[in-house]
């Protein structure tokens, strides 16, 4: 953990507060920093409802032809390990695309997902995972 991690995670949490409210899904803010310093951000329901913030931030980076190898993901919530509506989960995408590090603030709780293994899955794939509890004041 370093000051950049704290600063960018705080920024992801601020983004998550801009999400339109929903009773059925978390509000998540996500920021990607690529190895060459490009930045991509997204928050839940910024434009459409069912996408996950991490996933859309990844899509935006890919559309810009940014390499995600050794990129860092900051997310206000633990990336998911199970999804009903999509083929791939966010933690799977993070692993497959070669991210080197994932920093998140809140562990997925049991409200929507019984047993989230996002952190575990990424750690098993040798990604540095930092769970940083920050005050969301």
Q: How far is the CB of 37 from Zn ion (least distance, A)?
A: 25
Span near Zn ion by CB under 5 A; candidates 14-22, 30-38, 87-95, 108-116: 87-95
What's the alpha-carbon Rg for the chain, to the nearest Å? 13
Binding mask 32-71 for Zn ion (x = CB under 5 A): --------------------x-------------------
- Closer to Zn ion by Cβ: residue 8 or 55: 55
Nearest-angstrom CA–CA distance, 4 and 61: 20
Q: Which of 11, 54, 82, 108 is catalytic?
A: 54
* Interface region with Zn ion, contact rule CB under 5 A, candidates 5-13, 80-88, 99-107, 109-117: 80-88
Q: In the chain, which residue ranges form alpha helices assigned H by DSSP?
A: 3-16, 53-63, 90-96, 118-124
Give the other-Cβ count within 10 Å of 106's Cβ: 18
Longest alpha-carbon distance in the chain? 38
Give the separation between CA 22 and CA 63, rounded to whole angstroms.
27
Per CB under 5 A, 127 contacts Zn ion: no
116 binds Zn ion, rule: CB under 5 A: no
């Amino acid at each position: 953990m370093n000051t950049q991690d704290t600063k960018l995670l705080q920024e992801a949490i601020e983004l998550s507060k801009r999400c339109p409210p929903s009773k059925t899904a978390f509000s998540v803010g996500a920021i990607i920093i690529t190895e060459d310093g490009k930045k991509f951000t997204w928050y839940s329901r910024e434009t459409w409802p069912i996408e996950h913030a991490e996933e859309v931030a990844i899509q935006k980076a890919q559309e810009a032809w940014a390499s995600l190898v050794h990129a860092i993901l900051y997310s206000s919530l633990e990336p998911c390990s199970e999804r009903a509506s999509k083929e791939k989960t966010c933690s799977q995408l993070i692993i497959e695309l070669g991210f080197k590090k994932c920093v998140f603030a809140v562990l997925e709780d049991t409200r929507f997902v019984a047993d989230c293994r996002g952190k575990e899955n990424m750690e098993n794939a040798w990604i540095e995972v930092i769970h940083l509890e920050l005050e969301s004041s």
